Each structure stands twice: as structure tokens, then as C-alpha cells.
Amino acid sequence: MSIWPGNSQKERTSFGGLTRGQLMSRVRSIGNKTTEKRLASLLRRAGIYGWRRHRPLPGRPDFVWPRTRLAVFVDGCFWHGHNCGKKLTPAHNAREWRQKIRKNRERDTSVARELRRRGWSVIRIWECTLAKRGEACVGRIQRRIARRRR
């Protein structure tokens, strides 16, 4: 049962007249064009290969280097509760959103713990950091790959 107020199957949104339920059902957790594709482009430009996308591991990492057992997640600042200074506090249903984001963060922690237990190294990259300092993010990945190869 949904904790969200109102009727998500009847209330219309400003997105093409879709109901809130229809709109939210179209939100996907993979294939983010602005972050994942940006990182993929930066990795290619830096000559870093050997990665795979969306392997069936806990948490479905965005990028995986199977040989070095490195998992990289590219996290959106809003969805994963990054305190980067952007005004990301929702105006409506703020309590429910805070609870949702808190659960996302708890899940992120447990997923990273499980991957490390299985012998994987985990890197989390924030969307804002990737946008401002993409090369630094790539450098971080390069260093971790080099360390894991030894």
C-alpha cells in the first residue's frame, strides 16, 4: 500500500496528462543519459576499457570491471541524498521524500558492504562531481584498477 497522499491512478500530472502512477512507472533506474553516458564517454576518451554495464550483481552497478572486480555506481544527488549544496529539498510530500532517500542511502550502504564481502572494490561517483570534475572521477577509477591489478 502506498504511503503517498491522493490517488496515483486518477490524479493527472503536467506531463502529457499522465496520471502520477503512469508517470512514475516510466522512471527507470538504469540508462541515465546525463550521467552514465557521460562517464562512459570519459572512460573511452581516457582509453579505459574492459568495463561492462549493468551486470547482475547486488545493487546493479553502473560499470563493472570483472577482471579486477571493480564496481562503479554513478549516483544522482537527489535520489541518493548528496549534500552538495544544490537546493534538492522537495516542496511537496517532504517527509515521504526524506524517508525514501534515507532508505536509498541505507540500501547503498548494504549493497557496498555485500559487494566488498564478495571481494569487490566499490566506487560511488556523485552526479555533481562527474559534471564538474569528470577527469578526476576517471583518475580515481584508473588508480583503483591499477591497484587491483597488483
Rounded to an integer, what distance in angstroms lies between the CA atom of residue 39 and that of residue 122?
Answer: 16
Same domain, 70 and 5: no
Q: Which residues are CB-neighbours of 31 under 8 A, at least 6 positions away?
A: none
Global pTM?
Answer: 0.77
Q: Is the pLDDT of residue 7 over 80?
A: no
Domain of residue 26, residue span: 1-30
Same domain, 63 and 80: yes
Contact 8, 19 (CB under 8 A): yes
Tally of domains within the chain: 2
Q: pLDDT digits over 40-93, tens only?
A: 999 999 999 999 998 899 999 999 999 999 999 999 888 888 888 776 677 777
Same domain, 21 and 36: no
Residue type at 42 in one-letter notation: L
* Assigned C-alpha cell, 96: 515521504
Same domain, 36 and 24: no
Same domain, 91 and 26: no
CA distances from 35 to 1, 19, 41 (A): 32, 27, 10
